[in-house]
Structure 1
């Protein structure tokens, strides 16, 4: 098997239709790629297939959505995070926690945020 170079990946912890639209647009704006196949509520793709799609993607960073549909225990999205975080062929740049289309939630107070200039 040919040695693959590390791909730069950002994980997004949401994959519903609202998040997917926004993530696809964000990838387009930064010149990266979005793996839409990992979207869904919950994510249904398995780690080996997702890793292959990541390496096949042209451009970086590769934005990958993972979703567990609010499962209280470890869901499919969290399992994908674990597998991708330990994958030697992936450079995980970060994980963006998102809840874009949530019912029955009052919200989460923002403790800190980073603006478009990288300022805290």
Structure 2
């Protein structure tokens, strides 16, 4: 059995869906945007089934718990992916939120709204925050408990005061995905 390589995106709103769908067509991979929602409403078994049927790596999985604390469906999907032997999570794009110190995660690094790779965390607009190596956000705290090879923090996908707009090619989100792929040495493997 071939292992499916998954990139987790911790956002599921319309902007995130459109951006990831657009970038998957440019970069390669399979975007499971049909399961993206804010909050996540799909079951882990449905998402895993779709991952197994995906034609191209990486598979982009969007999870979102819309600011609800505790274990929601988004976190349940993430836990199921982590424990499935046929799936390897090669990285995560952790999206910052306005929540303050309720849910947070350590991150490998961040990309600010100007496209700079930085050691500090970022806020929802992609502006550096004083925290080094961590961000506040929805769903992200669970990333901290998993052994993921790379977690990249960015601001709100497709937004960041227009810096990540799809009309500009969503450069911040694209850079985060490309850095994960570069570290894993894959690009559109079948």
> Structure 1 length normalisation: TM-score?
0.80
Helix, strand or coil at the partner of 2:49:
helix
**Aligned match of 2:49:** 52
Shift, 1:20, TM fit: 0.6
Helix, strand or coil at the partner of 2:90:
strand
**Aligned match of 1:12:** 9
Pick the aligned partner of 2:35 from 23, 32, 38: 38
- Greater mean deviation of Cα atoms: 107-116 or 37-46: 107-116
Shift, 1:111, TM fit: 4.6
Change (3 A) 1:104 1:84: closer
Pick the aligned partner of 2:92 from 92, 95, 113: 95
Partners of 1:11 and 1:26 lie apart in 2 by: 14
Unaligned runs of 5+ in 1: none
**Aligned match of 1:82:** 79
**Aligned match of 1:107:** 123
Partners of 1:51 and 1:74 lie apart in 2 by: 18
Pick the aligned partner of 1:26 from 18, 23, 26: 23
Number of matched residues? 114
Question: Which of structures 1 and 2 has the larger relative contact order (alpha carbons within 8 angstroms, sep 6+)?
Answer: 1
Unaligned runs of 5+ in 2: 101-121, 134-151, 154-171, 180-190
Contact 1:37 / 1:45 at 8 angstroms: preserved in 2?
no
Shift, 1:104, TM fit: 8.4
Report the aligned-residue RMSD: 2.9
